[in-house]
Homo-oligomer: A and B are copies of this chain.
Amino acid sequence: MEELDVFDLRLLAAIQAKGDMTQAELSEIVHLSPTQCARRLQRLRTDGYVRDIVAILDPERLGINIIAHTLVGLRNHDDETGKAFRGFIEAADEVVECWSQTGDADYLLKIMVKDLGELASLIERLITAVGGFASLRSFVALKAIKRTTTVPIRA
């Protein structure tokens, strides 16, 4: 629970870039013995610095050709509407991320689908599920994914 030193930061940066490295490989990066790398990594994990380790799949390879970011503004801000919205988001596999916003819109959704038809279908279902919106504006990136960078987060 203490402060992180330079070795910890190097470890975190390393596993954030590549999470399946062996202790020996980590050892060469952070300049620490393999044993110590393992120990510190375990401590970082139990202390909650590492949320989890996941595989990033290739969207195109799986037929995911459209990644859309959609701003959603709810007409009513009562509990009922919010609950319906949350429920829909929770159940929809196409919605990969859901962020609460301040400003013009209430939520920002990140949606991954195969084609425009699926996207339209999703939006349609969302509208009917919640029962109409004051504003629904979609910013669709038509195969126009420039890049998705995941840079090391340093404290």
The answer, yes or no, to whether A121 is at the interface (CB within 8 Å) is no
Is residue A142 within 8 Å, beta carbon to beta carbon, of the partner chain?
yes
Which residues from B are CB-within-8-Å of A107? Answer: 146
Decide if A56 is an interface residue (CB 8 Å cutoff): yes
Is B12 within 8 A of A139, CB to CB? Answer: no
What mask results when residues 4 to 25 of chain A are scored 1 for a CB within 8 Å of chain B, else 0? Answer: 0000000010011111100000
A134 at the interface (CB under 8 A from B): no
Complex formed: what's the CA distance from A139 to B152 in Å?
23
Residue of B nearest to A21 (CB): B53
Picked from B55, B90, B103, the residue with its CB within 8 Å of the CB of A15 is B55
The reply to whether B145 and A99 contact each other, CB–CB distance below 8 Å, is: yes
Interface residues of A in 56-74 (CB under 8 A from B): 56-59, 61-64, 67, 69, 71
Copies of this chain in its oligomeric complex = 2
Sampled A-B contacts (26; CB under 8 Å): A12-B62, A16-B55, A16-B56, A16-B57, A17-B54, A19-B20, A19-B53, A47-B61, A49-B57, A49-B62, A52-B56, A53-B56, A54-B54, A54-B56, A63-B155, A64-B153, A93-B153, A97-B149, A98-B149, A99-B144, A99-B148, A100-B144, A102-B140, A102-B142, A103-B138, A104-B139
A97–B57 contact, CB under 8 A? no
Chain A residues within 8 Å of chain B by Cβ, number: 61
